[in-house]
Structure 1
Amino acid sequence: MVKLFGAQVDWNVSLHPTAIIDYPWNLKMKNRSSLGEHCWVYAMAPISIGKLSCIGKDVYLLTGSHNIEKSTFDLVTKPISVGDGCWIATASTVLPNVTIGDYSVIGANSVICKNVDSYCVVGGNPAKFIKRRIIK
């Protein structure tokens, strides 16, 4: 159904019926990626999700914010990019202008406000590096 509104999603992605996708024409999802229950994809700017990535339950991907330096509180939008093979665990929030590298893991309830390198495990608020991910 999201394809009717311009989303570019591969045929075999999994979108939970309770996931909310605002501005779906800015969403790209690749092969076998998924959005979990009650996710909020706030795609005011482009959001790309690579293949085999799992976006967990209650995760927020937010591309919109405001310029707090101006009295007019202007809207600011910046993209989000999630690489291949990533897992963003339950109740995490990814803020605008963030890139999450391939095969990274974001711990539950984390707030991601800076880029995450490939093969990293991060967590917390704000998220901090925990360890390198070694895939066997």
Structure 2
Amino acid sequence: MAYNTDTHTGPSFSLQNRLTRAVWGAVYILFFRYSPRPLHGWRSLLLRLFGAKIGKDVHVYPAVKVWAPWNIEIGDESGVANGANLYSQGRIIIGRRAVISQGAYLCTGTHDYTKKGFPLIAKPIVIEDYAWVAAEAFVHPGVTVAEGSVVGARSVVTKNTLPWTVCSGFPCRPLAPRTLE
């Protein structure tokens, strides 16, 4: 969590947090980012070594950006596509058989612009089971994408979605129920 409440006078995170992220950054560049696409188990192992909770048969692709693996939890048989950004200043929980598509941005951090120090606020994001966050969608801090929801491409999700609903837009709004055949 935030270390300093005045971002004008110092960093928002502790020295230990910043050093651990620096080590993760080196591991990311050397061993994660340029690993062959099919080596999902290898990337899952690297994430686990840095504290992530990764389920079975998870597909995290090599060009996924992960800010702090220790704040990530991904359920069984889920996928996170190339170009997705897991900006995990707070917790990001991705459920079972969920999909995060190319370029999707899950952002857990923001700042309180009403205070002089502009302090960091980190709120968790939850992507529930069977949900799909489509290409280049942006999910705001504190949002839950409900079970079975589909968030359309390039949508901006500022509020929780409804279960088993297709939603899209800026801001994201419900469009239709999602039914499976």
Which TM-score tier does this pair reach, normalised by the shorter chain?
over 0.9
1:111 aligns with 2:181: no
Match of 2:66 among 11, 21, 45: 21
Write the mapping of 1:87-106 to structure 2, written as runs, cut at 5 A. 87-106=132-151
Give the corresponding residue for 2:93: 48
Alignment partners' CA distance in 2, 1:73 and 1:128? 30
Write the mapping of 1:1-136 to structure 2, written as runs, cut at 5 A. 1-136=46-181
Q: Secondary structure at the match of 1:12?
A: coil
Query: Hey, which bits of structure 1, 4+ residues long, moved more than 3 A?
Result: none
Alignment partners' CA distance in 1, 2:67 and 2:143? 18
The alpha carbon displacement at 1:69 in A equals 0.8
Residues matched between the structures, number:
136
Instruction: Please give the per-residue CA displacement for 1:30-76, whole angstroms capped at 9, x wherever unaligned.
Output: 11101111111011111111111110000000000000111221100
Alignment partners' CA distance in 2, 1:51 and 1:82? 9
Structure with bigger strand share is 1
- In 1, are the aligned partners of 2:60 and 2:80 still within 8 Å (CA)? yes
Instruction: Please give the per-residue CA displacement for 1:93-117, whole angstroms capped at 9, x wherever unaligned.
Output: 1010001111110000000010001
Structure number with bigger Rg: 2
What letter is aligned with 2:83? H
Q: Secondary structure at the match of 1:28?
A: strand
Alignment partners' CA distance in 1, 2:115 and 2:177? 39
Give the alignment's TM-score, normalised by structure 2. Answer: 0.74
Identity of aligned residues (%): 33
- In 1, are the aligned partners of 2:89 and 2:108 still within 8 Å (CA)? yes
What letter is aligned with 1:133? R
> What RMSD in Å do the two structures reach over aligned CA positions?
0.8
Q: Which fold has the larger relative contact order, with Cα–Cα distance below 8 Å and residues 6 or more apart in sequence?
A: 1
What letter is aligned with 1:58? G
Structure with bigger helix share is 2
